[in-house]
C-alpha cells in the first residue's frame, strides 16, 4: 500500500538535498535541516559500498531528517581514471576492456563491467553529458574499440548513454547490497533510478525495508511513456531533467516537465523535479535570474518539491543553495496571487527571524510640517526619554508604539507580558513630576523637546496620565527598592507621574556615531545582502576583552550561525564607563585584524542601561530579535549592577518565559586557565592556574594607564585605549 511522504511544515512543498563532500558535516546538515530540507539523499553512484553504513550512521547522528538511498539503477558510467579527467581527441581510437585497467585517454572501463558484452558495432555512445560522442567500430573477445567523433574531456563515474535501448536490470549488485544495509539501519526511503515500468518498482520494493517509501525517477523515454503504471506503484516520482535530456532534445524538456507534472498530479502521486536548479551556485553565492525564474515556474507547474543534487553535494555553497530554494518557496506560498503594495517595499527575507509581535513598528514622520507643533504643548525631557522615543519609532522596541499606559505597565510588571499577551519584560515609560502633569490632559498631542536646547524631536499622542508607587515600581522592576541601586536612584529622581501614549518621531537625535546607528530595517537589509539567516547578537558596554571575543566566536560555531551582530549600547552611561567612541574603535580594530572576514556586522545601539538585571537581559534580546538576530548571547550577570542579582538570574527568567522567538546562548563566568591555555567555564585544574576576566577589572587596569596581560585583552586593543587616553581623547565617562 502506498504511503504519504510528508512535506515541509511551513510551505507544504519539499526540499530534497543530496549530501556529498561539500555538505557531509554536522554543522552544514543542521543548517540544511533548519532551512526546511525534508529528505537527505545518498547517491549510491558516488558512494562506495564499503562507505554506505558509515555515511548513514553519520547523517543519522547529525539529524532526525529521513535519509533516502538513491540507487545506481540501469545506467552506464565511465570507470576509474588515473586522473580526474582525460581528454579524448577527435578521431582517436579508445579501447574499452572487460577487465579493470588504470583509465587514460586510450584505454578505460565502463561500469557495469558486463555492459561491454551488450555493445554492438555501429552503436553511438554519448559520454559525460554531451562532452564526447563516439562510435563502436570493432568488438573483440577482451574489449570493444570506439572511434571518437566529437572529442572533449571526460571524467570518471560519468554518465554514458547508447543510441538504442539496452536491456539492463533495474538494480545493480551494489544497489542490492546497499539497500540491505539501509534496511538494517532503518532507512525507509529509497529512490529507483531509471524506472521504466511497474515491475522495476516492485523489484526495488522487494529488496528494501518492508515499509519503505519508493521514489521512482523518471529519466528515460520509457519512464515517461509508462509514467502512470510506475506512479501507481510508487509513493512519489522524481523528474530528472538531466538524464532525460540524454534521450530527449533539451529544447523539448520544458514541455516534458509540464506533461509529467500534470500526469503525476492526475494520478495522485507526488512529483519532484531535479537537475540544474541552481547550477551557477555551485561556484557563486547567488543564482542567475533565469534559475530563480525556472524554480518558481516549476512550482507553478505543480511540482511538490525540488531536488538539489550537485549544488549541495559538491558545490561551494550548499547552505546558500538550500536557503535560496527555501526563500523562493516562501514567496510562492505566501503570495500565490501576487504582491500587496506594502510587500513590494520589503527588503528582508522571510527566513530572518520575525520581528517581535509580527511586524516592525514605523513611527517616523517624513516631511513633517513644523506648523503642526505650534498649537501643541511642549514638554521638556531629558535625552533618555527621546532615545526611547527614537528606538520605538525605528522599530527597535517593536511591538511598542509608544510609552506604556498604566494597564500596559501593570501587565508587564505582573506577568512579563503586554495586555494582549505578547512577552515584554521591561517598563518603557515617560516619567515626570506631578506639577508638570497638571497642565496636560489625555487626548492631546504633546511636543517632546530636549532640555537645554528646546529642540522638538517627537510628538506624544497622550492617552493616559497616571501615578504609580515608586517603591513598588522599584521592587517589581529591579527586585529591590534600595536607594543605592543605580536604576532605583534614577527612577526616584523623576517623579511618580507617568504619561502613556503613542509617539511619532519628527527627527533623529544627533550623534557622533550616527553612521553606526543602523535601524532594524537596515540591519535586516545587511543580513539579507550577506545571505545571513542565522545571526547571533551581542550586547555590550565595554571595550572588547578576550573572554568576549572567545564567547562570540564560540557561539557562532556552536550554533552554526552565519555571523555575529556586535551591537554595543552607546547612549548615556554612568561615571567610569567606557565612552562610546572607544568601544566602537576597539571593535573596528578587531574587524580589521582579527575577526574572520565577512562574519561580523558592527552597529551602535543608541540606548542606555536600566540596570534591571534579568528583565533587561530579556529586553536586550528582544531588541536584537527586531534587528534580525536569531540568537543572543546572555552572559554572567547580564546587564546587572553590584550584587543585586545572582549570576544565573537572567538564565532562569529566559527559561521561565520559554520560546520568545530568539534563542538565548547562555554563558556562565568564564576564566582563563594557564594549563588549558584557553577560556573555560570550569576545568579540573587547581585555582592557582585560573585567571579571572571581567569588564570592570579591565577598566580599572586601563584607568591606571597600565596594559592588561595578553590573555586578558589583545595587546592591540589595550594599546589603542592607552594611546587614545594619551592623546587626551575621551576614553572613560
Q: How far is CA 147 from CA 100, 111, 123, in A?
A: 20, 19, 11
CA–CA separation, 106 and 154 (whole Å) = 12
Asked if 150 and 132 touch (Cβ cutoff 8 Å), the reply is: yes
Contacts 24+ apart (CB under 8 A), 83-86: 84/155, 84/156, 85/153, 85/154, 85/155, 86/153, 86/154
Residues assigned a catalytic role: 540-542
State the cell numbers at 435.
506639577
- Cell numbers at residue 575, please? 561615571
Burial class (CB in 10 A: 0-12, 13-18, 19+), 86: buried
What phi and psi values does residue 136 have, to the nearest 5 degrees? -70, 125
Exposed/middle/buried for residue 377 (C-beta within 10 Å: 0-12, 13-18, 19+): middle
User: Are 271 and 237 within 8 A, CB to CB?
Assistant: yes
- Total length of the chain: 733
Q: Between the CA of residue 570 and those of 54, 465, 492, 540, 545, what are the distances in Å?
A: 52, 30, 24, 9, 18
Dist. CA 189–CA 236, nearest whole Å? 10
In 416-560, which ranges are continuous DSSP H helix? Answer: 434-437, 470-478, 486-493, 520-529, 546-558
The C-alpha cell that represents 145 in the structure block: 574499440
Rounded Cα–Cα distance for residues 572 and 570 (Å):
7
Q: Which helix (H) or strand (E) holds 100?
A: none
Strand order in the sheet with 631-634: 600-602, 563-566, 535-538, 631-634, 663-666
Give the C-alpha distances (Å, rounded to integers) separating 250 from 154, 209, 223, 253, 697: 20, 36, 17, 5, 69
Residue 71 carries which DSSP code?
P
E-assigned strands of 528-670? Answer: 535-538, 563-566, 600-602, 631-634, 663-666
143-147 long-range contacts (CB < 8 A, ≥24 apart) are 143/95, 143/96, 143/97, 143/98, 143/116, 144/95, 144/96, 144/116, 144/119, 145/93, 145/94, 145/95, 145/96, 146/93, 146/94, 146/96, 147/91, 147/92, 147/93, 147/94
Neighbours of 268 (CB within 10 A): 9
Report how far residue 722's alpha carbon sits from residue 253's, in angstroms, rounded to the nearest whole number. Answer: 68
Residue 394 C-alpha cell reads as 525605528
**Beta bridge partner(s), residue 673:** 678, 690
Where are any strands of DSSP class E within 205-275? Answer: 213-218, 236-240, 270-274
3-class state of residue 476 by DSSP:
helix
Q: How far is CA 471 from the centre of its chain?
A: 44
Q: Which cell is 229 given?
A: 503504471
Helix (H, G, I), strand (E, B) or coil at 606: coil
Q: What is the Cα–Cα distance from 412 to 426, expressed in whole angstroms?
A: 7
CA separation for the pair 498, 431 (Å, rounded):
5
- The residues with which 213 forms a beta bridge, in sequence order, are 189
Q: What angle do CA 502, 503, 505 make, to 5 degrees?
A: 160
Amino acid at each position: 500500500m502506498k504511503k504519504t511522504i510528508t512535506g515541509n511544515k511551513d510551505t507544504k512543498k519539499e526540499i530534497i538535498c543530496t549530501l556529498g563532500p561539500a555538505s557531509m558535516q554536522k554543522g552544514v546538515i543542521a543548517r540544511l535541516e533548519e532551512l526546511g530540507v525534508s529528505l537527505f539523499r545518498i547517491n549510491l553512484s558516488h558512494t562506495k559500498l564499503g562507505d554506505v553504513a558509515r555515511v548513514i550512521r553519520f547523517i543519522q547522528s547529525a539529524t532526525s531528517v529521513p535519509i533516502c538511498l538513491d540507487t545506481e539503477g540501469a545506467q552506464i558510467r565511465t570507470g576509474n581514471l588515473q586522473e580526474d579527467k582525460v581528454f579524448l581527441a577527435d578521431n582517436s581510437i579508445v579501447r574499452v576492456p572487460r577487465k579493470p585497467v588504470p583509465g587514460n585517454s586510450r584505454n578505460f572501463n565502463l561500469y557495469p563491467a558486463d555492459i561491454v558484452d551488450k555493445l554492438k558495432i555501429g552503436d553511438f555512445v554519448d559520454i559525460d553529458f554531451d562532452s564526447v560522442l563516439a562510435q563502436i567500430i570493432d568488438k573483440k573477445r577482451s574489449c570493444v574499440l570506439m572511434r571518437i567523433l566529437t572529442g572533449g574531456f571526460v571524467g570518471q563515474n560519468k554518465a554514458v548513454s547508447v543510441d538504442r535501448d539496452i536491456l539492463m536490470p533495474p538494480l545493480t549488485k551494489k544497489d542490492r547490497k546497499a539497500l540491505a544495509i539501509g534496511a538494517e539501519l532503518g532507512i525507509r526511503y529509497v529512490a529507483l533510478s531509471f524506472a521504466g515500468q511497474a515491475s522495476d518498482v516492485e523489484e526495488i520494493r522487494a529488496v528494501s525495508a518492508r515499509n519503505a517509501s519508493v521514489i521512482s525517477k523518471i529519466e528515460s523515454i520509457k519512464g515517461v511513456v509508462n509514467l502512470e503504471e510506475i506512479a501507481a506503484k510508487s509513493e512519489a516520482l522524481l523528474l530528472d531533467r538531466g538524464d532525460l535530456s540524454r534521450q530527449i532534445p533539451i529544447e523539448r524538456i520544458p514541455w516534458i516537465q509540464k506533461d509529467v507534472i500534470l500526469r503525476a498530479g492526475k494520478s495522485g502521486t507526488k512529483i519532484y523535479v531535479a537537475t540544474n536548479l541552481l547550477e551557477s551556485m555551485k561556484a557563486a553565492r547567488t543564482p542567475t535570474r533565469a534559475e530563480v525564474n525556472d524554480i518558481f515556474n516549476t512550482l507553478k507547474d505543480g511540482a511538490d518539491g525540488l531536488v538539489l543534487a550537485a549544488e549541495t553535494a559538491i558545490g561551494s555553497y550548499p547552505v546558500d543553495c538550500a536557503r535560496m530554494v527555501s526563500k523562493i518557496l516562501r514567496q510562492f506560498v505566501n503570495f500565490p496571487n501576487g504582491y500587496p503594495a506594502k510587500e513590494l517595499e520589503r527588503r528582508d527575507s522571510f527566513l530572518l527571524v520575525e520581528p517581535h509581535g509580527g511586524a516592525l513598528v514605523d513611527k517616523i514622520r517624513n516631511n513633517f510640517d513644523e506648523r503642526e507643533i505650534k498649537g501643541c504643548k511642549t514638554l521638556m525631557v531629558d535625552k533618555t526619554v527621546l532615545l526611547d522615543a527614537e528606538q520605538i519609532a525605528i522599530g527597535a522596541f517593536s511591538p511598542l508604539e509608544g510609552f506604556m499606559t498604566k494597564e500596559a505597565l501593570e501587565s508587564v510588571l505582573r506577568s512579563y507580558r503586554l495586555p494582549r499577551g505578547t512577552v515584554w519584560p521591561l517598563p518603557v515609560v515617560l516619567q515626570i513630576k506631578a506639577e508638570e502633569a497638571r497642565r496636560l490632559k489625555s487626548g492631546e498631542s504633546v511636543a517632546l523637546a530636549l532640555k537645554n536646547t528646546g529642540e522638538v524631536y517627537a510628538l506624544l499622542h497622550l492617552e493616559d496620565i497616571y501615578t504609580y508607587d515608586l517603591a513598588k515600581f522599584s521592587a517589581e522592576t529591579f527586585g529591590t527598592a534600595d536607594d543605592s541601586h543605580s536604576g532605583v536612584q534614577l527612577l526616584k529622581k523623576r517623579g511618580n507621574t507617568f504619561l502613556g501614549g503613542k509617539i511619532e518621531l519628527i527627527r533623529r537625535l544627533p550623534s557622533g556615531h550616527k553612521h553606526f546607528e543602523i535601524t532594524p530595517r537596515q540591519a535586516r537589509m545587511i543580513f539579507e545582502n550577506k545571505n545571513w539567516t542565522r545571526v547571533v547578537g551581542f550586547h555590550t558596554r565595554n571595550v572588547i576583552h578576550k573572554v568576549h571575543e572567545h564567547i562570540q566566536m564560540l557561539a557562532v560555531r556552536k550554533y552554526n550561525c552565519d555571523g555575529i551582530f556586535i551591537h554595543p549600547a552607546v547612549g548615556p552611561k554612568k561615571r567610569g564607563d567606557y565612552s562610546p567612541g572607544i568601544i566602537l574603535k576597539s571593535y573596528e580594530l578587531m574587524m580589521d585584524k582579527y575577526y574572520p572576514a565577512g562574519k561580523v556586522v558592527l552597529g551602535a545601539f543608541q540606548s542606555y542601561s536600566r540596570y534591571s538585571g534579568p528583565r533587561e537581559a530579556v529586553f536586550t534580546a528582544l531588541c536584537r530579535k527586531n534587528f534580525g538576530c536569531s540568537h543572543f548571547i546572555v552572559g554572567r550577570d547580564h546587564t546587572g549592577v553590584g550584587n543585586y542579582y545572582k549570576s544565573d538570574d537572567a538564565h532562569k527568567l529566559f527559561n521561565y518565559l520559554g520560546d520568545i522567538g530568539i534563542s538565548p546562548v547562555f554563558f556562565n563566568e568564564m576564566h582563563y586557565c594557564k594549563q588549558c591555555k584557553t577560556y573555560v567555564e570550569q576545568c579540573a585544574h587547581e585555582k592557582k592556574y585560573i585567571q579571572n576576566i571581567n569588564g570592570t577589572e579591565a577598566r580599572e587596569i586601563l584607568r591606571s594607564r597600565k596594559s592588561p596581560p595578553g590573555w586578558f585583552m589583545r595587546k592591540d586593543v589595550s594599546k589603542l585605549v592607552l594611546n587614545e587616553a594619551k592623546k587626551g581623547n575621551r576614553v572613560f565617562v
